Structure 1
Amino acid sequence: MATMIEENGPSTREQSEVSSSSSSSSSSQARQKLEGLLNKNMKIRMTDGRTLVGLFLCTDRDCNVILGSAQEFLKSTDTFSQGEPRVLGLAMIPGHHVVSIEVEADTLEDTQGFGATH
């Protein structure tokens, strides 16, 4: 059966089939990378200046992050003062408040594909 090419390129059905196959492979790669980060220590900086440190437990399609055994560090107003962390336990960080996420290097040693040196 011949493929029907319209004047402006392939039909929208053909485009959606191609994009869905490429997006499914990229989403499965992303899923594998996220699964490799499960139970790793993460440091998440938030828009209000707070920093949360804890174990990465899960995320969702809105980029919300759940940390276990989380501790909160407030933004220091004085560069010399180091405040005590506040223990939160289980914490949910809304995705729109996440500024940056760091994974501790020592927890990546057994994780492949994240630039860790062996």
Structure 2
Amino acid sequence: MEYASALVKLKPGSDDKLEEWRRTIASRLEEAAATLKDEDVSVESYFTLEINGEKHLLWYLRAKSIRRVFELSRQLKHPIDKFHYEMMEAITASVTMAKPLIDIPRDAET
């Protein structure tokens, strides 16, 4: 498994759009889960945090191949994908990718 994480700085005043995104994804979990299955993703998580008065998302992904996830995700097979990318574009000011250090899965391969 591979993993990736990023700090997503949000545009000022994007709270309502962020909540709309969260509410929509939560209400369409089966469709979102189908997307993850198509991309061989085992987990994708988002967290909110504030740094120096600026709002951010912390994003985490674990998948069979991170490169494959990004390749497949842009094919927009599911309508939820289009919604997700449009909303992320609307609320994102910048993205800082994190450097992977360690990921400890419960069932570590030996």
Report the TM range for the smaller structure's normalisation.
under 0.3
Quick check: which one's helix share is greater? Answer: 2
Computing the radius of gyration over CA atoms, which structure comes out larger, 1 or 2?
1
Report the TM-score when normalising by structure 2: 0.28
